[in-house]
Chain A
């Protein structure tokens, strides 16, 4: 029993903690939410019908549990705020520094979309991204297209800094 729980725990801990932190949970809150998710999964296994995938069911519990915690303590920005960047400073930046700043801002404004692009960057399949986000395969694909478009305004100006 303990080994099986450990298996479940170690399989999901890192991806779920990341997900919670991306969504604005502190590290402590993320650990608390994760423990609650594990307990709910084990308690509620009786209600799993086997119709969808087990992964999708577990992630659905994770999303709902996070929402419950956010009702008690709202999300916050997990990374420290940056100093305001002056226009002149922007001109002196390299393209990669500029994109890095753009991604930081995007992560604060659109944490869900930033996380979805991170999963894509990590090489996670569209189906698995959909299971984590609670979307169908087609809807996930469309969502990722939209993420790219939404990211545009945060980084487009950086590409002018690219040199040949």
Chain B
């Protein structure tokens, strides 16, 4: 099988995996951000040996029915709250046997922010040799779209029909507070940054945590083809900061937003989930500014370094 040059020739196709991590014919919705993530992970992983742990989430369903599997690597589907502990066992045995296997958790926001938070925190505290990737669609997708603590304020879900009142949990802040080697947020609209972070996180040892904003046309009530654009708008408006934290202390802002009012307005208007609650770019502005003040303080970058990215 010949690999076509991908991502404008940026990916090292000669070392690419001959097979996608997530095979075609899987049951993901069209426009699913997790599908894009798996494509990028394939590029980043290249010929590295991987094992994957997937708790209950869309990725568990996407795997398909026994005995076929949509995943081209050894994978175990864990219980909802157990991705990090099961990965701990897998990684420990790999370590005992001197294997180079990279153990990857692929978990949704429900399994990360909510039910799996305790066991995730514990594995991070023990600094287990795991790459934990949270693909965050800001909703319980498998069960039909209920709120999670990753759902942003103003979003309508089946369990918050009038729009969620509470703001989204700061998962990066929580994970960085564990002082683990690497924490980063990933924008699928910034593929060079995505690839670099995935590669870095695959190579690093100890507990690594990646947070990926994963567009979900089904839950966000948006056009499948608009997913990547929505992520770009979230980044441009400052709503989704793209940054990384090394050892819980060194904060690096990777993408400097324009804080564009138009971008924020478009982000909200292109998703029907924001229609009912009355959330506007004006109502979101203070919390965006507040978070960026915090981020500037932590990164030591008081003045934006770059513009127009």
A binds B: no
Using CB atoms and an 8 Å cutoff, list the residues of chain A in contact with chain B: none
